[in-house]
Structure 1
Amino acid sequence: MQYDSLDLALTAKRIPRENWPLIRRITEYIGVRGYQLASNYVKASRSNGCPDLHIYYGYTGGFMSEQEAINAAGDVERWQFDGRSGLWSILHPENKTREGGGGNGRQTHRESAVCPNCHLTVPSNNICDTCGWEQSGQG
């Protein structure tokens, strides 16, 4: 489904409202022409034809450089999403990597695996909710 409105797309994917101001800042800086729902994220198509942003519950990926991520999102936690593509991601205030769901100011991480692709905590079933990566063995 295609959306012209960021708010409608974020509502449809149940992205926490606590993350909306940061996401809005990012999309305004980047310049987005439209939004499309994917299986577990909102795809934001850039106006300039560069790689799409992928807006997940707890992070946004698709920045072309670390500097672009900083310029768009400010001084937030960021990482290179995939060494092959060179794209970067930033962490939202409300996310699933922090104990209690994040957004509560606590930085204590759970004692469990972290997906090497998404950098999110893997649930107890050892399968990443975001990309499907499966932790083998004891981890």
Structure 2
Amino acid sequence: MIGDENQKLIPFIEALQLKKIPLTNQQFLEPLSKEIPALGCTVLDTYIKYFREDSFAPLEIHYGYTNGFQSETEVTDIFGDVERSESTRIKGTWVVHHPENKIRDSGATKTTQTTEQNPCSECGMLLSQTGVCDYC
């Protein structure tokens, strides 16, 4: 059964755009859909639930990381030698860290800004033209 969210499944790329995942991370995640085909995704408050076509539990795609890979090998087969770790949230699974994330110290993450937008002091996402953060 596909979760209790009672939401219609949407394509992966649409979920990434709805959740406003940074373009750098969207590009990083491109190999995921080729290596682990999805039935579809749902967009929840804090993450995207990526329903796999295989029999394994869905992946959880957050702003700066994806959680729920079955093994370290699964991560490296998809993304190569990238920053990864054992999950502390979902026992027995692995996490891949996205290039743009909130895990690293400030200054270690590259962001592209226009002169008209400033980063939020809390989360680092670019503020809207009104100066209000859409994420916090």
TM-score, scaled to structure 1: 0.68
Q: How does 1:2-13 map to 2 (within 5 A)?
A: 2-13=8-19
AA aligned opposite 1:33 = L
TM-score, scaled to structure 2: 0.69
Choose from 69, 76, 89 the match for 2:82: 76
Alignment deviations for residues 35-87 of structure 1 (CA, whole Å, 9 cap, x no partner): 01122100000001201111110011110001011111211100000387200
Q: 1:60 to 1:83 in 2, by over 3 A?
A: closer
Choose from 26, 35, 38 the match for 2:41: 35
% same residue:
34
Bigger-Rg structure (1/2): 2
Contact (CA 8 Å) 1:95, 1:101: kept in 2 or not?
Answer: no
Aligned-pair distance for 1:17?
A: 0.8
Structure 1: distance between partners of 2:15 and 2:89: 29
Contact (CA 8 Å) 2:85, 2:95: kept in 1 or not?
Answer: yes
Structure 1: distance between partners of 2:89 and 2:24: 29
Contact (CA 8 Å) 2:15, 2:42: kept in 1 or not?
Answer: yes
Q: 1:13 to 1:101 in 2, by over 3 A?
A: farther
**Which residue of structure 2 aligns with residue 137 of structure 1?**
none
Does residue 51 of structure 2 align to residue 24 of structure 1?
no
- Unpaired segments of 5 or more residues in structure 2? 1-6, 112-122, 124-136
Contact (CA 8 Å) 1:78, 1:88: kept in 2 or not?
Answer: yes
Structure 1: distance between partners of 2:92 and 2:65: 17
Contact (CA 8 Å) 2:38, 2:51: kept in 1 or not?
Answer: yes
Contact (CA 8 Å) 2:68, 2:90: kept in 1 or not?
Answer: no
Aligned-pair distance for 1:101?
A: 7.0
Q: CA RMSD in A?
A: 2.2
Q: Secondary structure at the match of 2:87?
A: strand
Q: Secondary structure at the match of 1:2?
A: coil
Structure 1: distance between partners of 2:20 and 2:109: 16
